[in-house]
Amino acid sequence: MKAMGAFGGGLGGNGEVCGAVVGALAVMGLRFSRASEDEKEDPKMWSYAQEVLERFRKEIVKNHGSILCREIARVNWKDREQARGFYKSEKVLECGRIVGDTAVLVGELLDRVMEPNIPLAGSSLRP
């Protein structure tokens, strides 16, 4: 988890894609991708990753209209005063909710891996 610390503030404080969803996708990679060149990647990774992004958009940040941190938090992370103000405001609570809801989503998906008879939402999707 330490490696994911820099995902905050929209990838290193740049206001880009929300670090919560990037972290969720990283977990899908840890679960389904290969650890070495000799291993095969589990093709389910793509369906799970697409479900993460789809549900993140439609369920978790639906009222924000974006998956970009700067639009969700309404903060210019490069402006130190705005960043300080964010942590002193109610906005930080919404960020915590998003992170928590995303963690629950990841947990649901990982639980589903343990129960293979539960179909993936959008499992026909493939890149």
Residue 37 is assigned to a structural domain of this protein: yes
Residue 126 is assigned to a structural domain of this protein: no
- pLDDT score for 107: 95
Residue 59 is assigned to a structural domain of this protein: yes
- pLDDT score for 125: 36
Cα–Cα distances in angstroms (integers) from residue 108 to residues 26, 47, 52, 55, 119, in the given order:
15, 14, 10, 12, 12
Residue 16 is assigned to a structural domain of this protein: yes
Helix (H, G, I), strand (E, B) or coil at 75: coil
Helices marked H in the chain — which ranges? 19-32, 44-55, 69-73, 80-87, 91-114
Residue pLDDT tens, the chain, 127 long: 677 888 889 998 999 999 999 999 999 999 998 888 888 888 899 999 999 999 999 999 999 999 999 999 999 999 999 999 999 999 999 999 999 999 999 999 999 887 765 555 544 433 3
Q: Structural domain tally of the chain?
A: 1
Helix (H, G, I), strand (E, B) or coil at 74: coil
Cα–Cα distances in angstroms (integers) from residue 56 to residues 78, 82, 94, 119, in the given order:
25, 25, 14, 18
- pLDDT score for 106: 96
Residue 67 is assigned to a structural domain of this protein: yes
